[in-house]
Amino acid sequence: MTGPKLRRVVGALAEASGMRDAVLNELVRVGDAGLLGEVLRLTGDVATLQVFEETSGLALEEPVLRSKQPLSVQLGPGLLGAVIDGIGRPLQALAAAGGDFIAPGVDASTLDPTTRWDFSPVVTVGQQVRAGDVLGTVLEKGLVHRILVPLGKEGTIERVASGAVRTDEPVAWLLDGPTLHLWQRWPVRRTRPARARLASTEPLLTGQRIFDVLFPIAEGGTVAVPGGFGTGKTVIEQSLAKYAQADVVVYVGCGERGNEMAEVLHEFGALVDPRSGRPVLERTVLVVNTSNMPVAARESSVYLGLTIAEYFRDQGYRAAVMADSLSRWAEALREIGSRLQEMPGEEGYPTYLASRAARLHERAGRVQCLGAPERTGSVTLFSAVSPPGGDFSEPVTQACLRVGGAVWALDPALAHQRQFPAVDWNASYSLYAEGAEAWFAERVDRRWGETRSRLLELLQRDGELREIAAVVGPEALEDHDRLLLAAAALVRELVLGQSAFDPNDAYSSPQKSFRLARAAIDFHDAGRAALKGGSSFAELDVGRVRQALAAARDAAAADAEAAFLKLDEALRALGRTP
Amino acid sequence: MTTLARTYLGARAAAGPLVYLAGTQRARLGEWVTLRTAGQPTLRGQVIDAGRDVTVVQVLEDTLGLGPAAVEVTLTGELASVVVGKELLGRALSGAGDPRDGLPPPIGEALRPLWGAPINPVRRVPPSDFIETGVSAIDGMNTLVRGQKLPVFSGPGLPALELAATIVESARAPRGEPFAVVFVAIGITERETRTFLERFERSGALERSVLYVNQAQDPTIERLLAPRAGLACAEHLAFVHGLHVLVVMADITHYCDALREVGAAREEVPGRRGYPGYMYTDLASLFERAGVVRGKPGSVTQLPVLTMPDDDITHPIPDLTGYITEGQVVLSRDLFRRGVSPPIDVLPSLSRLMNAGIGKDRTVPEHRKWADQLYSVYARGREARQMVAIVGESGLSAADRRALELAEGFEKGLVHQAGLRRTLAQTLEAGWRLLDELPREDLLKLSDAQLEPRKAQREAAARRRAEAKPP
């Protein structure tokens, strides 16, 4: 009766003796129940373990089993539409085995071993293959899932399967070598390699006007979305997951609400992706660790999500990761660090918070993939941050701001006015704006860049004027200032304001976004001309323009043209005094 | 999972609520412990740190008079659990589940672990059943749905428990379905408890309720157990008996203070304002125990009440709570002083599940837009009110003046109810009456079609405005 045994259990941590040969980050099975855990620290023959499942009930002297492998995830067909927990177990299978509540110690492989896939090989017998080469494809929910030669494998194809192949059956045999499967394993904490990293210049369309027009995100870029509670972070992440132009979306609900995840499942299943005509859920992989699920699995869930996204990137797809939220990930680090009695840094967070956050963000990017045929793919990372008390100076927000290529700062004051998305245009920015402008100018309208600068200028001036108006009252302002306030109000409320729940406006094409934005600028210009021509502000029919702009925004696709014509009329009428 | 009970004489040390044992065998995390000292009442505790060298037991009751040398400690081999069952309805229990009503201890139907397992997210049904609370600021503007966790953020002295009682009274059984209430008192005063229970008794809801009472004078550590005992019971009633259970927990602030006390006793590295770094996870383990489960008729809805120290919504307790719960109902001292009852400030209030519970087939199709419109004009009116203090009413634009007027009317005519219950239809009508007074250009959140049914009222209002205007 030797072998590793538990010598201490506290919170999500356990210590085991008899672990002399273990290595850091090795996966272990803890206790009689066989809970999943990972080696965090080794001192002599004692290993400190973080346990990914509920530890209450673990007793001293229970055995610990070593796996001699790091925490890894199974990657292959069957991921799309799947709902898995922070350590890669499919929640449906857990429910089938353990009922409505998650019981510790239940095990299930990420991909169902018995599913059959229709495999079409692209390699032939005798062909040399190397890591990253496409062996063949299976069609998974409308996506051509490319089966890749895993890293570390190469050789000559001796035999290759065709037609129906079970997940647990080999798909190709190498000469004097190993067999290859439809799936491969990858350690979640390790970045998947690529041939070369490429620059991120093209915008990834989000369908949200304030982002596409003012603060665009590039394919392969990173955005931090900081915002206090109730500022609409989750709604934004969900809108992005639904409408962003990605081929595959990995939604990581990290420390999220259970009901919210149920809603995501329900909604994504019902919502149809306009490009493929299939439910949005079918291009989505959901990684779920609700706030009451074990804290160690919360820390791993983000890496798991990134690994899955990288796997689709390596097939040549645009993958997007929605991490909601990185604050919970950081808190998990803090909780584990504090149990390990590490010397705390700022606000109790471990000193390695910033470096871990930076490394995590750097897993996003556009790459030239390994293997043949040549292809590029990308991982774009959207990370929500939940600063305590809405205070952006706290360590997690700051760590994310330092590495994010764009920041969409959410403002509770805007949320209280029900201005959604509640993005504070003064505090937000995008380092991708310049590259995106050129792209939009070429494809949508050459005035794109000018319109964007005019909008920003208008909002800037609006902020200043409203401060003055708060002191002297708006009636005391001069006419051209009141006109500017009216134009800025159009921009704020009707152009940037977009309802995620309005079927006609939840998604806005770049063309529509541009036309609405331009109308507000045109209103300002036409108004200025009218004032110059001797009209007074009171004589301008601002109400008509507002109504026409609102109607154009909310019109169904079929009525949009007519609504925009009416808007043009209202704008033209502005200059003419009756 | 059970191990036999082991008894040891003497502990290595005792400090505050913690007792440190040496040389225990096969101690189990979360194991239930009893501590006996001759001539003293038996104490109970739980293993919170199991170790070969030292095992730490957190004692539930007051450790006054406990001597580590003479104490007889028994590790029971069982995990902490509570008796649950339908027979608990109508009973008053302590935070640890002992009778407080002079009746014998309940036998119940089952033992349920205090630390409940998380509901598997794929087994959850997104909550969408509208609960009519009779409170306009909630029904109209921040709708509550079954399976939601919607806390009341209160300030010292604000009538949060009265509001909770009102909701409990009217929220029961909208369609005559079986319901139950679990009330968990956490460290609140005798007076607060009485206020709530008296309201409750009058409405006859008491026999459909289970009370877990830990008052201010009761042991602090028991505050950590009381909500878990209540939730274990609620889950049993909901998912075994199919009842719709509303869990009221007051006051979460006392719960967090107890958590901080234990953290400090264990010499943990403190987080913000001395609260432990794991407070988010800990609170989530309470609040996430709400919801609706696929294929089960019942539901658990939570109405936690918390007091924001110094009315500060950025304090860690309301802050972390807001990140976990599905919205919040915020009480305002300003409205309370101006006699608005209930003093709900709708601007910082929010119900995240509102959209799922309203609209066609649930309330009325235009509910969302109606609420958005009121919100936006009310927010503008509130801004205008601040401006009046500086520039006077004459300095406002006409639209700001209209918004200001609506804000007054909104607080007096919609939020204020003075104890009278309003049906949803009455709430909507009250809101429409305010909106009728505004010209079309102020109502951009509403479509022409949505305004059509109000045509007659709007025209009458416009005529009144025209007549009132000096020629």
The per-residue pLDDT for A576 is 65
- The distance of B326 to chain A (nearest Cα, Å) reads 8
B-chain residue closest to A267, CA distance: B126
* Average pLDDT for chain A: 92
Give the A window 362-401 contacts with B, CB below 8 Å: 386, 388-391
pLDDT-derived band of residue B1, with 50, 70 and 90 as boundaries?
very low
The residue out of B314, B332, B357 marking a domain boundary is B357
Distance from the Cα of B40 to chain A's closest Cα (Å) equals: 29
**B423 assigned to some structural domain:** yes
How many angstroms away from the CA of B22 is the closest CA of chain A? 13
Q: Residue A7: how many CA atoms within 13 Å on its side-chain side?
A: 13
- Judged by CB atoms closer than 8 Å, whether chains meet at A59 and B29 is answered as yes
Q: Is residue B195 situated within a structural domain? A: yes
Q: What is the pLDDT of residues A210-225, one digit of tens each?
A: 999 999 999 999 999 9
Angle at A380 between CA A376 and CA A385, to 5 degrees: 165
In-domain check, residue B419 = yes
pLDDT of residue B458: 94
Cβ contacts of A291 on chain B, cutoff 8 Å: 280-281, 284, 287-288, 324
Residue A241: which of A144, A324, A139, A357 has the closest Cα? A324
Which class would CATH give A110-182? mainly beta
Residue B1 lies in a domain: no
A101-155 per-position pLDDT tens digit = 998 888 899 999 999 999 999 999 999 999 999 999 999 999 999 999 999 999 9
Structure tokens at B79: 């995990």
Residues B86 and B73 in one domain: no
Position B362 in a domain: no
Quick: pLDDT tens for A19-73.
999 999 999 999 999 999 999 999 999 999 999 988 999 999 999 999 999 999 9
Mean pLDDT of B186-208: 86
Average pLDDT over residues B329-354: 95
- B443 in any annotated domain: yes
The predicted-structure confidence for A439-483, as pLDDT tens digits, reads as follows 999 999 999 999 999 999 999 999 999 988 878 877 889 999 999
Pick from A60, A263, A388: CB nearest B52: A60
- Show the tokens assigned to A23: 């290595």
Half-sphere exposure for A398 (CA within 13 Å, toward CB): 9
Sheet with strand A170-174: strands edge to edge = A128-129, A155-160, A170-174, A179-181
Contact yes or no for B441 and A547 at CB 8 A: yes
- Domain boundary (B357, B390, B414) is at B357
- Based on the domain organization, do B92 and B193 belong to the same domain? yes
User: In chain B, what residues touch A253 (CB-CB under 8 Å)?
Assistant: 121
Is the domain of B404 the same as that of B286? no
ipTM of the modeled complex: 0.86
**Helix (H) or strand (E) segment spanning residue A475:** none
Cα–Cα distance, B371 to A30 (Å, whole number) = 52
Do B91 and B228 sit in the same domain of this protein?
yes
The verdict on B242 and B305 lying in the same domain is yes
Residue B424 falls within a domain, yes or no?
yes
B458 and B311 share one domain: no
- Looking at the fold, whether B246 and B382 belong to one and the same domain comes out as no
Tell me if A58 and B379 make a contact (CB, 8 A cut-off).
Answer: no
Query: What is the topology classification, in CATH, of domain A5-70?
Result: Elongation Factor Tu (Ef-tu); domain 3 (2.40.30)
A571 pLDDT more than 60 = yes
Average pLDDT over residues B78-96: 93
B98 and B69 within one domain: no
Query: What single DSSP character describes residue B358?
Result: S
Q: Say yes or no for a CB contact (<8 Å) between B271 and A258.
A: no
Q: How confident is the model at residue B172 (pLDDT cuts 50, 70, 90)?
A: low
- Say whether B118 and A10 touch across the interface (CB within 8 A): no
The nearest CA of chain B is from the CA of A424 a distance in Å of: 17
Name beta bridge partners: A136. A121, A147
Tokens of A121: 């090989």
Q: In what order do the strands lie in the sheet with B344-351?
A: B92-94, B209-215, B179-188, B244-250, B299-307, B152-154, B327-331, B344-351
The CATH-assigned architecture of domain A444-575 is Orthogonal Bundle (1.10)
Closest Cβ–Cβ partner in B125, B316, B326 for A257 = B326
Domain locations in chain A as residue ranges? 5-70, 110-182, 195-432, 444-575
In the predicted structure, residue A418 carries a pLDDT above the cut 80: no
CATH number at residue B10: 2.40.30.20
Q: Which residue has the higher pLDDT, A16 or A390?
A: A16
Res A276: pLDDT: 80
Closest C-alpha to B9, from B24, B27, B31: B24
Which of B291, B356, B391 lies nearest to residue A471, judging by beta carbons? B391
Q: How many domains does chain B have?
A: 3
A496: tokens are: 């940037």
Beta-carbon separation of A262 and B125 below 8 A: yes
Residue B40 within any structural domain of the chain = yes
**Binning pLDDT at 50, 70 and 90, where does residue B394 land?**
confident
Chain B interface includes A541 (CB < 8 A): no
* CA pair distance B34, A110, nearest whole angstrom: 43
Residue finishing a domain among B30, B50, B79: B79
Domain of B145, CATH number, reads 3.40.50.12240
Share of chain B above pLDDT 70, in %: 98
DSSP string, A410-459: B-HHHHHTT-SS-B-TTT-EETTHHHHHHHHHHHT-TTHHHHHHHHHHHH
Q: Which domain holds residue B381?
A: 367-468
Same-domain pairing of B117 and B173: yes
B408 and B283 both lie in a single domain: no
Among A254, A253, A273, A274, smallest CA distance to A264 is for A253
- The architecture that CATH gives domain A195-432 is 3-Layer(aba) Sandwich (3.40)
